[in-house]
Amino acid sequence: MTTRHLDLGCGPRPRNPYRHDEVHAVDLVIPDGVDPQWFRHANLSLQPIPHGDSSFESVSAFDFLEHVPRILLTADGTGTRFPFLDLMNEIHRVLKPGGRLYAVTPCYPSPEAFQDPTHVNVITDKTWRYFCGEPPMARPYGFRGNFELIRNERALHPFAFEATVPLNWFQRRLRKKSERKGRLPHLIWEFSCIKPAV
């Protein structure tokens, strides 16, 4: 059986942290010369993920979640919507039951979370609680999915781009040293999708 991965907000080089057979991508800009079967265009702050329900074994988001607004006005200007919650609903929708979300993002209180003026969504060590648990804390705000937490930990960037490759001894040592000095600005989220089998 062919396994499929989707990388969100990936730029011209989609990543495949679980090393699945197929790698699909969604971004604001489609690079020249790519096959639209594998690379699709969408503004994920405003539009759904352009793939069907339960399409992927895994989804990744590297340095992307911090660019998705938490709140926007509705198109008619009379209400509000929550694009980050909408995106998390979409990720849940396109994952197969038991599928994995793997995200690496700069997080509070690191300067990296704030220094880029396009970072509009600050993630903390506790944000995962809004998407995992029974019920997830974001349920009253419109989050319909549910995930099981596998990992919520500070990341040694850029060695965190492979979900299935453990750090070697040098990287583990570097991680401990960086952690002691408070220099692990990124956070890894690894979630498992909870939903009934189809």
Among candidate residues 128, 152, 54, 58, the one with its CA nearest the CA of residue 99: 58
Query: Are 41 and 28 within 8 A, CB to CB?
Result: yes
Q: Which two tokens stand for residue 186?
A: 């990124």
**pLDDT band (50, 70, 90) for residue 44:** very high
Query: Are 30 and 82 within 8 A, CB to CB?
Result: no
**The model's pTM:** 0.93
d(C-alpha 96, C-alpha 93), whole Å: 8
d(C-alpha 68, C-alpha 156), whole Å: 23
Arithmetic mean of pLDDT, 134-154: 96
Arithmetic mean of pLDDT, 123-147: 96
Q: Where are the domains of the chain?
A: 4-193
131 half-sphere exposure, CB direction, 13 A CA radius: 26
In CATH, 4-193 is 3.40.50: yes
Q: Which two tokens stand for residue 86?
A: 């909408």
Query: Are 5 and 57 within 8 A, CB to CB?
Result: yes
What confidence score (pLDDT) does residue 98 get? 97
What confidence score (pLDDT) does residue 34 get? 85
For the chain, give me the number of helices (H) and strands (E)? Answer: 2, 9
Query: Are 90 and 53 within 8 A, CB to CB?
Result: no
Single-letter code of the amino acid located at 99: G
**Alpha carbon of 3 to those of 26, 42, 109: distances in Å?**
17, 23, 37
d(C-alpha 198, C-alpha 187), whole Å: 32
Q: What confidence tens digit (pLDDT) does each residue in 52-83 have? A: 999 999 999 999 999 999 999 988 999 999 99
Query: Are 131 and 145 within 8 A, CB to CB?
Result: yes
